[in-house]
């Protein structure tokens, strides 16, 4: 919102597309470098001319892939993140300019070595040629190790939020596990690349030798290392406050619980992230098994089709795992510093910086709640006549006022929500708000994200140890803006969801209980919500409901404690008791609803 918003629907998908391609190639670049030098060493030691010729041909294809697609998709990521997440890119560049600069020296060395290695087959002594190969691998791996520091920082910023020190941010809790994990993936992909390249060979003996070597010495050991380093990574992330269990819908962050949640049918967690995790784990497992089976059964005869399918499995699995990493990070783009929509947490009192610098941050949550998103962002185009609180606006006929609210709400959505949500496509907002009233949407916006301590107690966003409790694990950032902006957004969304009268009606003349239900319960238990209340009444009395409302987290652990007043609790209990009395007690949950767990 400090920067203009590019009108591309769900631009995060563009980052994902460019990044997945680049990550796939760049990991090849690292592992492939090691493969080339070790294969060349092996060929020279065993005087295996056929293998040497294969490595030579491999190196040529390698530079075409690395120098062109690898380097340019890397630049492509720079371009893309700057277009989609300029605020976060600016922060990362400012904090880590020397890390990027260091990475650049390694990148330059890597590119030069790749060329000298490929052009040097006939011009360099064998020893020098191998040395150049090692220069290539070491600089490529070191480049990975530098980028991993910045990527890991985005997930777990460590003590940086307190100190803003370079080393505190770079050597953060998930740094080493991420380097280990990415190294293991690179080694595995190198084996996969060799397996693919060997499929072009006509010499069946050589093909079988290369394929067996790739599968048994590269892919299989890498698979073991990937599993071990992944467990290390997830445990380090969970330890640093990343909502691993919540996002994946698991009871805990233990490997067994995570696997059970990913492949089980649970109602909680982020559905897309869980799907991505299935793709990542399932794809990787299939890849390893299929590679070993291919080598065991068809090492001399396999062709490009089989090898191409393995490559496709590799990129799909890699895409899934990158998606999970991004999903685990949300709602942050930079852990405990900035949300995905560019909103920052308020600076802690007495934080670093010259007087007033961070404290006056107009794009922090607290400042936006005071001044409003539309008034703060120069890129917002709110209708001039939308002036909440102004008698001229409040005195307008309901229809005109609502039309202005819809327009203002659309603008809030564009600036604050459109980085993730499209209207009808990816995370399509129409589908998510279908049939929801203004009150329900407001309740979801209120519940979207709350700052909590490690043990779940309420906290402040500027607390350095803050964690995020999100509504149903959906990993949304908190709403940023004034109450009037929240109302405008809710009216706009309710209209998108099909409520033609949203914003027109005065609050319905219903009992306080129905209002309380709309406000506190309907987001999850409304007629179109995942767990309709009519399926759960079971003939209970108002007194029973009153008692249950007092211990909601014990009824189901996903439910938050009731946050309304005593009067609202009574009214709500009466309302539910009345509903139960008029609803058959033996209602069977609809079969087409996946989430049908009953309250205990």
Partner 1 sequence: MTPGIPLADPLPLPAPVGLLWALLQLTFLLHLVAMNVVLGGSILALHWRFSRREEGAVHRASLLAFFAKALPVAIAAAVTLGVAPLLFVQVLYGRLFFTSSILMAWLWLAIVPLVILAYYGAYLLAFRDDGPGGRARGVAALVALLFATVAFLQVSNATRALRPDTFVEAHRADRRGLLLNLADPTFWPRYLHVLLGAVAVAALGAALYGVLRRAREPQLAAWAIRRGTTVFGVATAANVFVGMLFLLSQPKPTLIRLVGGDAWAMGLLALGIVLGVAAAGLALLALGAKDTVRVTWGQVGLLVATLVVMVLLRDQVRQLALRDAGFEHPAWVVAQWGPFAVFVVLLVAAVATIAWMARALARGTAGVSR
Interactions with partner 1, residue window 142-171 (CB under 8 A):
164, 166-167
Q: Which residues have a Cβ under 8 Å from the Cβ of 264 and sit 6 or more positions away?
A: none
Q: Which of 57, 97, 398, 585 binds partner 1 (CB under 8 A)?
A: 97
CB of 164 to partner 1, least distance (A): 7
Let me know if 327 is exposed, middle or buried by CB neighbors in 10 A (0-12, 13-18, 19+). buried
Let me know if 75 is exposed, middle or buried by CB neighbors in 10 A (0-12, 13-18, 19+). exposed
Examine residue 2 and tell whether it contacts partner 1 (CB under 8 A): yes
Q: Which of 57, 68, 204, 585 binds partner 1 (CB under 8 A)?
A: 68
Examine residue 134 and tell whether it contacts partner 1 (CB under 8 A): no
Binding mask 338-357 for partner 1 (x = CB under 8 A): ------x--x----xxx--x
The distance from CA 161 to its chain's CA centroid, rounded to whole angstroms, is: 20
Considering only residues 357 to 386 of the shown chain, the ones binding partner 1 according to CB under 8 A are 357-358, 360-363, 378-379, 381
How far is 596 from 470, CA to CA, in rounded Å?
A: 21
Examine residue 111 and tell whether it contacts partner 1 (CB under 8 A): yes
Q: Which of 41, 89, 511, 596 binds partner 1 (CB under 8 A)?
A: 89
Of 1-9, 27-35, 188-196, 548-556: span binding partner 1 (CB under 8 A): 1-9
For partner 1, the closer of residues 6 and 263 by Cβ is: 6
Examine residue 125 and tell whether it contacts partner 1 (CB under 8 A): yes
Examine residue 67 and tell whether it contacts partner 1 (CB under 8 A): yes
For partner 1, the closer of residues 22 and 519 by Cβ is: 22
CB of 389 to partner 1, least distance (A): 24
Q: Which of 41, 48, 50, 109 binds partner 1 (CB under 8 A)?
A: 109
Token pair 């120069």: residue: 378
Q: Which of 61, 120, 512, 578 binds partner 1 (CB under 8 A)?
A: 120
How far is 327 from 420, CA to CA, in rounded Å?
A: 12
- DSSP class per residue in 224-246: HHHHHHHHHHHHHHHHTT--HHH
Examine residue 100 and tell whether it contacts partner 1 (CB under 8 A): yes
Closest CA to 147 of 84, 191, 81: 81
For partner 1, the closer of residues 344 and 450 by Cβ is: 344
- For residues 344 and 364, is the Cβ–Cβ distance under 8 A? yes
For partner 1, the closer of residues 120 and 282 by Cβ is: 120
For partner 1, the closer of residues 26 and 317 by Cβ is: 26
How far is 525 from 548, CA to CA, in rounded Å?
A: 15
Considering only residues 3 to 42 of the shown chain, the ones binding partner 1 according to CB under 8 A are 3-8
For partner 1, the closer of residues 14 and 286 by Cβ is: 14
Q: Where are the beta strands (DSSP E) in 262-348?
A: 332-334, 338-339
Q: Which of 46, 104, 263, 501 binds partner 1 (CB under 8 A)?
A: 104
C-alpha atoms less than 13 angstroms from C-alpha of 179 in its C-beta half-sphere: 17
Considering only residues 376 to 435 of the shown chain, the ones binding partner 1 according to CB under 8 A are 378-379, 381
Q: Which residues have a Cβ under 8 Å from the Cβ of 490 and sit 6 or more positions away?
A: 409, 438, 441, 442, 445, 502
Beta 449-452 vs 332-334: how paired, if at all? unpaired
How far is 439 from 510, CA to CA, in rounded Å?
A: 13
Examine residue 129 and tell whether it contacts partner 1 (CB under 8 A): yes
């Amino acid at each position: 919102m400090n920067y203009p918003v590019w009108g591309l629907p769900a631009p995060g998908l563009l980052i994902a597309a460019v990044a997945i391609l680049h990550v796939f190639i760049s990991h090849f670049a690292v592992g492939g470098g090691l493969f080339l030098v070790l294969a060349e060493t092996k060929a020279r030691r065993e005087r295996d001319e056929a293998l040497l010729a294969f490595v030579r041909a491999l190196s040529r294809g390698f530079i075409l892939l690395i120098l062109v697609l690898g380097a340019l998709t890397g630049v492509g990521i720079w371009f893309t993140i700057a277009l989609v997440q300029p605020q976060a890119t600016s922060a990362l560049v400012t904090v880590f300019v020397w890390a990027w600069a260091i990475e650049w020296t390694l990148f330059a060395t890597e590119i030069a070595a790749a060329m000298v290695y490929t052009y040097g087959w006939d011009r360099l002594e064998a020893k020098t040629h191998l040395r150049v190969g090692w220069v290539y691998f070491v600089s490529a791996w070191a480049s990975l190790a530098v980028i991993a520091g910045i990527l890991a920082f985005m997930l777990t910023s460590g003590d940086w939020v307190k100190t803003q020190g370079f080393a505190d941010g770079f050597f953060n809790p998930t740094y080493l596990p991420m380097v280990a994990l990415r190294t293991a993936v690179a080694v595995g992909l190198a084996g996969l690349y060799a397996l693919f390249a060997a499929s072009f060979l006509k010499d069946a003996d050589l093909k079988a030798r290369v394929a067996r070597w790739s599968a048994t010495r590269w892919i299989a050991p890498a698979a073991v290392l990937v599993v071990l380093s992944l467990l290390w990574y997830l445990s380090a992330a969970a330890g640093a406050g990343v909502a691993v269990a919540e996002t994946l819908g698991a009871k805990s962050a233990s490997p067994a619980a995570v696997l059970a949640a990913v492949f089980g049918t649970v109602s909680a967690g982020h559905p897309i992230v869980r799907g991505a995790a299935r793709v990542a784990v399932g794809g990787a497992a299939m890849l390893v098994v299929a590679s070993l089976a291919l080598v065991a059964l068809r090492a001399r005869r396999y062709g490009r089709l089989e090898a191409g399918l393995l490559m496709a499995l590799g990129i799909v699995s890699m895409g899934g795992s990158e998606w999970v990493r991004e999903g685990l990070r949300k709602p942050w783009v930079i852990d405990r510093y900035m949300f995905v929509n560019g909103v920052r947490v308020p600076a802690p009192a007495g934080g670093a910086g010259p007087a007033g610098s961070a404290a006056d941050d107009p794009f922090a949550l607290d400042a936006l709640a005071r001044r409003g998103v539309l008034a703060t962002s120069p890129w917002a185009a709110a209708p001039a006549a939308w002036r909440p609180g102004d008698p001229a606006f409040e005195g307008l006929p309901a229809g005109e006022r609502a039309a202005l609210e819809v327009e203002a709400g659309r603008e809030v959505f564009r600036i604050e929500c459109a980085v993730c949500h499209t209207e009808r496509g990816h995370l399509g907002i129409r589908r998510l708000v279908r049939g929801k009233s203004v009150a329900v949407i407001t309740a979801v916006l209120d519940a979207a994200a709350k700052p909590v301590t490690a043990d779940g107690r309420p906290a402040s966003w500027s607390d350095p140890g803050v964690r995020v409790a999100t509504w149903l694990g959906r990993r949304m950032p908190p709403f940023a803006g004034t109450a009037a902006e929240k109302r405008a957004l809710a009216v706009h969304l309710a209209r998108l969801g099909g409520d033609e009268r949203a914003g027109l009606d005065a609050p319905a003349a219903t009992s306080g209980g129905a209002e309380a239900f709309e406000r506190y319960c309907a987001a999850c238990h409304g007629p179109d919500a995942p767990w309709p209340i009519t399926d759960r009444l079971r003939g209970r009395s108002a007194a029973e409901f009153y008692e249950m409302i007092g211990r909601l987290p014990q009824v189901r652990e996903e439910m938050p404690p009731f946050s309304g007043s005593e009067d609202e609790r009574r009214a709500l209990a009466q309302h539910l008791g009345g509903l139960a009395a008029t609803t058959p007690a033996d209602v069977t949950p609809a079969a087409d609803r996946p989430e049908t767990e009953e309250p205990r």
